[in-house]
Amino acid sequence: MAGRAGIAGLTITEPCAVTGLPAEVIHDPVRGLPGPREERVTAAVAAARELGHKQGDRFTAALLDSGDQADDGLRFAFPTQIDELGRSSGTRSLVGVVHIDLDGLGARMATWLNSLPDDVDLGVIRRTEEIIDAFVTGLARHIVATLRSAVDPTGPALTGRPARLGFPLPYVDTPGSARQGTIMLPVRPVLVGGDDLTVLCDGRLAWSVVAAAFEYLAAPDNPPAALRELGLVTNGERLTACAGVAVVSSGYPLSAAQEVANGLCGRAKNQARSRVQGNRSRECHVSWHRGDHTADTVDAETARVYSESEFRELLRDFLDPAVPTSLRGEYPPPKADGRTVPWSGRRTWLRSRLGPVLEGGVANPYGRSKELLGETAHIHGAITLPAKRGRWAELVVDAIDLLDRHLDISPPGPEERP
């Protein structure tokens, strides 16, 4: 609600907090939250903010069932403050900025528009834009639904694997608040453009957000038939995406983190183009970086780039607790001597011994890893390495890096034991 800020008899009272021009109204930039947030702004700024609020409300309604009681009986909302993204007491809070770009869809749309006759029915263009918007909104909905499925309402808390990385969720219990009884999901999708989506989330969820996005794009009914009928996607062609992930400290400027995520998305795109030029099948790609860097200080050594199949392999074969030989394996095959221990019980050894060896670039990383395991078998018991394939050393190094950082919220597979 905006109120007049001018005082009769005075031509200028205070400058607009945004433009510096004479303020005309008092406006709350963040609605529905307690606390003194009113600012003096021009009427144009207040009107633009109100329009943004309305657009945001429509987008939120599309993702959260109008913010009302959902089928599971829980009520959710997106956070409006970084502290509501999942900050945990006693731990360093990290924020993930995930930028997802549907490969070439914007360029295809531009080419399609240029091919239309001058007297084309504008309704055709609007319907096409609506189809693309619905597809991107569906992507955001799937990400949100994946997170919702991991919520334990008794906390409330977000659960996943490993359980120690789960965390409590903010819950609004302030009497009279518009959000009373609402659980804050640790994620905030933001539509950037027609074929772009940015997702802000707790840093522990960044890789699960990417996994959910790739899962959505791999569904048999995607892309929608309407895009094929329009010629934006050819028959048999799969619509893919590239993602850039910047995981930064909660106090790091989000605008800078967004630039890093955009740059990383560009790295993923370059890798995807190289793959297609090499006559390999089209795949989604992802690039990520951890740390408070600017876009021009992220280099090839610290930015990780994975194809969709490699990324899936990393999360499944190297980080899934249900896989006995993964680095989070909790269920070792039974041994008569009882000496076998799971990888999950050797986190310290992984980080202090195996990780540095592989990062050092040894000539035979798999063989050297087996030697290290043999040297400590009399202390820790026997253990099996993940299968050797492809970028094995890089996969292990990155898996070690994500051991205490990636919360897997995907549903457990049928082989998961209680």
Same domain, 133 and 175: yes
Q: Is residue 301 part of a domain?
A: yes
From first CA to last CA, the distance across the chain in angstroms is 52
Nearest to 258 by CA among 143, 138, 93, 100: 100
Higher local confidence (pLDDT), 55 or 170:
170
Whether the CB-CB separation of 401 and 386 falls below 8 Å is answered with: no
CA distances from 19 to 1, 26, 50, 54 (A): 20, 14, 16, 22
Q: Note the pLDDT of residue 146.
A: 93
407, part of any domain: no
Q: From 36, 63, 90, give the residue that closes a domain.
A: 63
101 and 192: one domain?
A: yes
Residue 236 sits in the same domain as residue 309: yes
| pLDDT attached to residue 417 | 35
240: helix, strand or coil: coil
Residues 143 and 190 placed together within one structural domain of the fold = yes
Boundary residue ending a domain (16, 36, 63): 63
Whether residue 25 is found in the same domain as residue 142: no
Q: Judge if 167 and 20 occupy the same domain.
A: no
**Residue 335 within a domain:** no
51 and 188 in a single domain? The answer is no
335 versus 364: the higher-pLDDT residue is: 364
Amino acid 68: pLDDT: 40
Mean pLDDT of 178-191: 81
Q: Indicate if 146 and 239 belong to the same structural domain.
A: yes
User: 68: Cβ–Cβ under 8 A, 6 or more apart, which residues?
Assistant: 75
Residue 413 lies in a domain: no
- What is the pLDDT at residue 195? 75
**CA distances (Å), 29 to each of 13, 52, 84, 131, 175, in order?**
20, 10, 17, 31, 22
For 259, the domain range is 76-318
Which tokens hold the place of 195? 């074929």
CA 227 to chain centre: 25
What's the total number of domains in the chain? Answer: 3
Q: What is the mean pLDDT of residues 314-338?
A: 73
Query: Average pLDDT, stretch 27-56?
Result: 66
pLDDT average, residue stretch 9-23: 69
CA distances from 166 to 201, 248, 289, 349 (A): 14, 19, 22, 23
pLDDT above 90: residue 293: no
Is pLDDT at 331 greater than 60 in this prediction? no
Let me know whether 250 and 303 are in one domain: yes
The CB-side HSE value for 216 (13 A sphere, CA atoms) comes to 22
Average pLDDT over residues 41-49: 79
- By the 8 A CB rule, do 406 and 327 touch? no
Tell me, yes or no, whether 327 lies in a domain: no
User: Would residue 197 count as lying in a domain?
Assistant: yes
**Is 59 a domain residue?**
yes
Cβ atoms within 10 A of the Cβ of 119, count?
5
Whether residues 56 and 85 share a domain: the answer is no
CATH number assigned to the domain comprising residue 137: 3.30.70
Asked which of 68-82, 163-177, 198-212, 218-232 is least confident by mean pLDDT, the reply is: 68-82
Q: Do 122 and 24 fall into the same domain?
A: no
Domain finish residue from 63, 93, 110 = 63
Q: Determine, yes or no, domain membership for 287.
A: yes
* Residue 307 and residue 370 in one domain: no
